[in-house]
Amino acid sequence: MRRSVGYCEPNFAYAGQMGTWKFVYTPATSLPKGTKLKFDLLTKSRPIDWQLPQTNVKKTENLIWGQLPNGKAFVAKQEKDFSPAEYEFTLPLEVKAGETFMICIGTPGEDVEKKGNLSQKHTQRRKAFHLYIDPKGKGQYQDPEVFHMDVRGSELENIRIITPSLVWRNKRFDVIVRFEDKFGNLTANAPENTLVDLSYDHLRESLNWKLFVPETGFINLPNLYFNEPGVYKIRLLNQTTKQVYHSPPIKCFAEEELNLFWGVLHGESEKVDSIENIESCLRHFRDDKALQFYASSHFENEDTVSSDNWKTITSQLNEFTEEDRFAGFIGFQYVGDPKEEGVRLFITPKDNKQILKKKDSKSNSLKKIYKTYNSKEWMAIPTMTMGKGSSYDFKNFNPEFEKVVEIYNAWGSSECLEKEGNLKPIKGKGKKALVEAQEGSIVNALKENCRFGFVAGGLDDRGIYSELYDVEQNQYFPGLTAILAKNHTRSSLFDALSKKSCYATTGARMIIGFNIAGKPMGSELNTKDKPGLEFNRHVSGFVVGTDTIEAIEIIRNGSVIHIIHPENYKTEFTYDDMDQLSKIALKSPDDRPRFSFYYLRVKQSDGHIGWSSPIWVDQVAATKKGKKA
């Protein structure tokens, strides 16, 4: 029995390649004149997706057309009830069984590199295209015929080096080298015999590695180590192009301390939808983005989050969670009343929790959630607190659940108002643009003695953010959260967040250390235990940037009290705040003692920013012998 045959010419494309693509089809049975054909590119028409062609045959640039067995062309149409990626054809002649016709996308001319069609900018094995056929010509389509085309990485453009941020003297660690095209895809498309030299500061005589570009596009380099404490960068030299590539900085300590892990708790992949394909999403963040933790963060009120979706999401997060490699947190976003509740990202260290739906009686308000569950089950992270319409005024702040707050995501920072020095303000043009709301200021909340650490979110185009692409909304770098934890497990990372042992950046993997009287970020000190704090708060720390550090600002009670200008990518610093605590301490709105808070704001010359979590100093009266304080 004869079977229909469909294939692509060529059978693969390079990411971002301009070309003419032919989808060749030989039917097993004759298709009469008037047969309807619907061709679907299965693309969402994002900038990274396959370019949508046009149907005007008078223009030979980026055209879609059909070609009959006799070589004559027939035109495509875009119907109103079709998606933008669907095109309909009507056969002007019969195509007999065994004959071949084509759907072509590109240009019928020879100037393919300028007038062709642009392939998608991300690699994909067996990228699918659907052809639906209705021999009766009534638009009643059945199951599609499927064409597959591999999309491979284009020419080698960048070599990315993935390293740990913190290591210890003489302790071995692994490095991954990724050979990438200009879109960040893995690629082996490099000149033959391309050779890469590896080196770093304080090079051991025994280390003399030369790397080839492998077919896989990446290499794992095991068992590197440093003999002495310091700041290092792995250096790669492409001998063919003489281009030099550096890793992010690595800080080596003499003795083992906390590990530093990078990840995203709130954010969506530009390439892969986290609900439609959570497995590919997790693989993208773990492998392509080299993150060490990630949390699902879809909105609980989305219709697409069915019980089956939730089951798939949670099972994949559990499947990808692997000690010392990757931690996947179950999480979701909850939208409450503006100002009073705002928007929360809920995450859990558990592996089998059910989503909390606002339509359910036990979870239709934050108060009920906080009363029903405990803080070991769920952490509630206020996000976008300064966004108008989604703001949170912190008047109902719950320190048991709200251990950290999102100070930044790709739509802006909620640190303070733009006129108060916010370099990444929430702003846009037009009536539908999101603007800043003062009541959600994080600095103002800190002044009211709300105590929380800082995390950063990535890019989000769902829920309350879904319309921001359609307005002139300011968009910034996707942020990253750094967690300082003992072990690379879900429970250890969750515990570190609870202790505010974390900091936020706008996406740069800068290494930040911040201490007062020897205690790290997230600490709460008092003058009862350390009486000297009344007269001197000794601030110390270090910053290792991914670019030149423009300024390190020490912020006390919302105001900058000292600025360091390193004019280098790394520095260590100390500062003594000698102002008497009784004169600068803020009055708490409740019965807690007067207090001051400190944090760092780091600015790089490339525009990236980092925020350390705060440290608090309470002014507590000393206890007299035999009496209570």
Is residue 203 pLDDT above 60, yes or no?
no
d(CA 611, CA 22): 52
Give the closest residue to 357 by CA, choosing from 407, 288, 310: 310
Of 626 and 398, which is predicted with more confidence? 398
pTM listed for this prediction: 0.91
Q: Which two tokens stand for residue 19?
A: 């070309």
**Proportion of the chain above pLDDT 70, given as a percent:** 97
C-alpha distance across the termini of the chain, in Å: 94
Strands 559-564 and 595-604: unpaired
Domain 509-629 matching CATH 3.40.718.10: the answer reads no
Architecture of domain 258-507: Alpha-Beta Barrel (3.20)
Q: What is the pLDDT of residues 136-181, one digit of tens each?
A: 999 899 899 999 999 999 999 999 999 999 999 999 999 999 999 9
DSSP strands (E only) in 2-43: 5-9, 12-14, 18-19, 21-26, 36-40
Q: Do domains 258-507 and 509-629 have the same CATH topology?
A: no
Q: What is the pLDDT of residues 288-310, one digit of tens each?
A: 999 999 999 999 886 778 888 89
Do 135 and 32 touch, CB atoms closer than 8 A? yes
Instruction: Enumerate the H helices of 85-133 as residue ranges.
Output: 112-115
Is residue 389 pLDDT above 50, yes or no?
yes
d(CA 527, CA 23): 76
pLDDT the model gives residue 626: 45
pLDDT the model gives residue 629: 44
| Mean pLDDT score, 458-483 | 92
Q: What is the pLDDT of residues 495-553, one digit of tens each?
A: 999 999 999 999 999 999 999 999 999 999 999 999 999 999 999 999 999 999 999 99
The single-letter DSSP state of residue 339 is B
pLDDT the model gives residue 359: 87
Burial degree of 51 (CB within 10 A; 0-12, 13-18, 19+): buried
Of 46 and 216, which is predicted with more confidence? 216
Domain ranges of the chain: 5-152, 158-257, 258-507, 509-629
pLDDT the model gives residue 269: 86
pLDDT the model gives residue 276: 79
Is residue 352 pLDDT above 90, yes or no?
no
| Mean pLDDT score, 189-217 | 81
Of 15 and 462, which is predicted with more confidence? 15
pLDDT the model gives residue 1: 52
Architecture of domain 5-152: Sandwich (2.60)
pLDDT bracket for residue 621 (50, 70, 90)? confident
Do 518 and 424 touch, CB atoms closer than 8 A? no
Whole-number Cα distances in Å, 28 to 7, 304, 535: 14, 38, 89
pLDDT the model gives residue 157: 95
d(CA 470, CA 464): 13
pLDDT the model gives residue 195: 93
d(CA 582, CA 529): 16
* Average pLDDT score, the chain: 93
pLDDT bracket for residue 253 (50, 70, 90)? very high
Where does 158-257 sit in CATH, by number? Answer: 2.60.40.1930
